[in-house]
Amino acid sequence: MHYLARLPGEEGMNILLQVAMNDPEERIRMSAINYIGHAGKNKAKSLMALTTLFQNLPKDQLGPIQSLLYAIASIGGDEAVDFLGKIAKTHENYEIRRTAIQYLGNIGGEKARAVLVEIMNAK
């Protein structure tokens, strides 16, 4: 995965995305997701790839989904807060919602705090 992430241009990212979506081994998919989030030189592009991947992952793959949420939180920024906030408010799986809330807390900052307060007040 390390060498794929270091390939120039889009080739490495495209291969990592294919591995994250299609590899039969869960730990390999999770590793690819981790590299997409941490090794991408362009954080906006990595975030977009991860959010697209989230939409395409089967809902029953909790390990890869939680890895994906962690990778998004590691990228941080307003777009990551918006995405995690949406997941925390609307996802059908309570465990995924809980994980998104946890990562919002880890990101910190005023925007993440506002989302957390909004979630808390909605309950």
Domain containing 24 — which CATH number?
A: 1.25.10.10
Token pair of 50 as six digits: 């991860």
The contacts of residue 27 (CB under 8 Å, 6+ apart) are 63
pLDDT tens track for 5-51 = 888 778 888 899 999 999 999 999 999 999 998 876 688 889 999 99
The model's pTM: 0.88
Helices (H) and strands (E) in the chain, counts: 8, 0
Q: What is the mean pLDDT of residues 52-61?
A: 89
- In the prediction, which pLDDT does 22 show? 92
Domains in the chain, number: 1
Looking at residue 123, its pLDDT comes to: 64
Average pLDDT over all residues of the chain: 91
Task: Provide the pLDDT for residue 40.
Answer: 63
Q: Residue 65 belongs to what domain range?
A: 2-122
pLDDT score of 100 more than 90: yes
Which whole number is the average pLDDT over 71-82?
95
Phi-psi region of 108 (alpha: psi -120 to 50; beta: other; left: phi over 0): left
Q: Rounded to 5 degrees, what are φ and ψ at 93?
A: -95, 120
